[in-house]
Amino acid sequence: MNKYLDISPEVQLALREGKPVVALESTIISHGMPYPKNVETALMVEQCIRDNGAVPATIAIIGGRLKAGLSRDEIEHLGKSGRAVTKVSRRDLPAVVARGIDGATTVTTTMIIAHMAGIKIFATGGIGGVHRGAETTMDISADLEELAQTPVMVVCAGAKSILDLGLTLEYLETKGVPVIGYGTEELPAFYTRKSGFSVDYRVDSPKELADMFRAQRGLDYKGGMLVTNPIPEEYSMDKDVIDAAIEQALKECKEQGIHGKDTTPFLLAKVVELTGGDSLESNIKLVLNNAKLAALTAKELAEN
Candidate residues 20, 32, 151, 181; the one interacting with ligand PSU per rule CB under 6 A: 32
Q: Answer with the entry of Mn ion, ligand PSU, none that 107 interacts with (C-beta below 5 to 8 A by kind).
A: ligand PSU
Answer yes or no whether residue 192 interacts with ligand PSU by CB under 6 A: no
Answer yes or no whether residue 22 interacts with ligand PSU by CB under 6 A: no
Instruction: Show the beta-strand stretches assigned E in 2-46.
Output: 5-7, 21-24
The pair phi, psi for residue 119, each rounded to 5°, is -95, 130
Q: Answer with the entry of ligand PSU, Mn ion, none that 160 interacts with (C-beta below 5 to 8 A by kind).
A: ligand PSU
Answer yes or no whether residue 126 interacts with ligand PSU by CB under 6 A: yes
Q: CA 35, 37, 43: angle at the middle one, nearest 5?
A: 110
Answer yes or no whether residue 106 interacts with ligand PSU by CB under 6 A: yes
The residue (of 76 and 139) whose beta carbon lies closer to Mn ion is: 139
Candidate residues 21, 39, 62, 107; the one interacting with ligand PSU per rule CB under 6 A: 107
Answer yes or no whether residue 289 interacts with ligand PSU by CB under 6 A: no
Closest CA to 261 of 96, 83, 95, 135: 83
Contact letters (x/-) for ligand PSU, 140-179, by CB under 6 A?
-xxx----------------x-------------------
CA distance 154 to 111: 8
Contact letters (x/-) for ligand PSU, 239-268, by CB under 6 A?
----------------------x--x---x
CA distance 217 to 137: 35
Query: What is the DSSP track for 45-89?
Result: HHHHHHHTT-EEEEEEEETTEEEES--HHHHHHHHHHGGGSEEE-
Q: Answer with the entry of Mn ion, ligand PSU, none that 126 interacts with (C-beta below 5 to 8 A by kind).
A: ligand PSU
CA distance 91 to 108: 10
DSSP secondary structure letter of residue 230: P
Please give the size of the binding site for ligand PSU, defined by CB under 6 A: 18
Catalytic residue among 25, 46, 76, 300: 25
Reply yes or no on whether 160 is catalytic: yes
The residue (of 59 and 199) whose beta carbon lies closer to ligand PSU is: 59
Q: Which residues are catalytic?
A: 25, 160
Binding region for ligand PSU (CB under 6 A): 25, 27-28, 32, 89, 106-107, 125-128, 141-143, 160, 261, 264, 268
